[in-house]
Homo-oligomer: A and B are copies of this chain.
């Protein structure tokens, strides 16, 4: 197994200006693993309850996701209910029911302990650490987090960050984590906390990669028919980590391509509710949108400009 993800699998109830869906497949590990599986073998570690539909498990397996680390426990599956306003910028959480996720103590199957690439989805940093402890020789470790852990579990998060190569945050999280108002200053400060690179996700404004080797900025692919932003960040991380696992490089050119693939996967994820769009997506569509993002962003250097 080249890529391991630990995170949530959820039944989401989501309302956006474009519709309402009840109890649909969601969760960070779900979006991540479906996105990553376009590029590399991926195994997920998560827990679901007795109420979790078998069809969802079969669906994940059909997308090439190794579900050997998916534990079914007594109790209810994690549920999240949220609403997006007109600007689709921010999810307003209406209800969270942790269910079996409340006492989730992941136990990795032998094969997943050999993973070379690890994505620690947005869960309690103490659980992130437990997972990492079980991976024999992690080569590239990436991590997501959120305001709640930054505020309430800062020490545990700091310990995880020292073991992380790549951190995913949004702008507000970057500021909060670094205690810096300016996002560039915040990113530079985060690079002193452990991660060799930090990716600041900016939603409809794209993403920026900061690392000691330089910066890279990519816009979001312009999506006119946006339906539901849920899972965009995890699809982004899945596209990026899946690509890196496939090319076995972490040099800047590979990181840049990975960030673009992340942006591509996120742009598809938001076109429909839940994982509907990812479910019908083909690798050819992924590659075509990669090319479209390149056409959207590339320009001549000055020398070419003068010659033209």
Contact = CB atoms under 8 A, between A and B. Distances in A.
A215 interface: yes
A214 to B, nearest CB: 7
Interface stretch (A91-99, A101-109, A161-169, A299-307): A299-307
A214 B295 contact: yes
Interface string A276-308: 000000000001001100111111111001001
Interface stretch (A27-35, A122-130, A249-257, A266-274): A249-257
A247 B301 CA distance: 15
A196 to B, nearest CB: 18
A295 to B, nearest CB: 7
Contacts of A216: 296-297, 299
Nearest to A86: B181
Contacts of A308: 247, 249, 253-254
A172 to B, nearest CB: 11
A224 B249 CA distance: 30
Given A185-B224, A206-B219, A215-B222, A253 B300 contact: yes
27 contacts: A182-B224, A184-B223, A184-B224, A185-B224, A202-B205, A206-B219, A208-B222, A214-B296, A216-B296, A217-B219, A217-B222, A217-B296, A218-B299, A219-B219, A247-B305, A247-B308, A253-B300, A253-B308, A256-B298, A256-B299, A256-B300, A257-B299, A259-B299, A287-B302, A290-B302, A291-B301, A297-B297
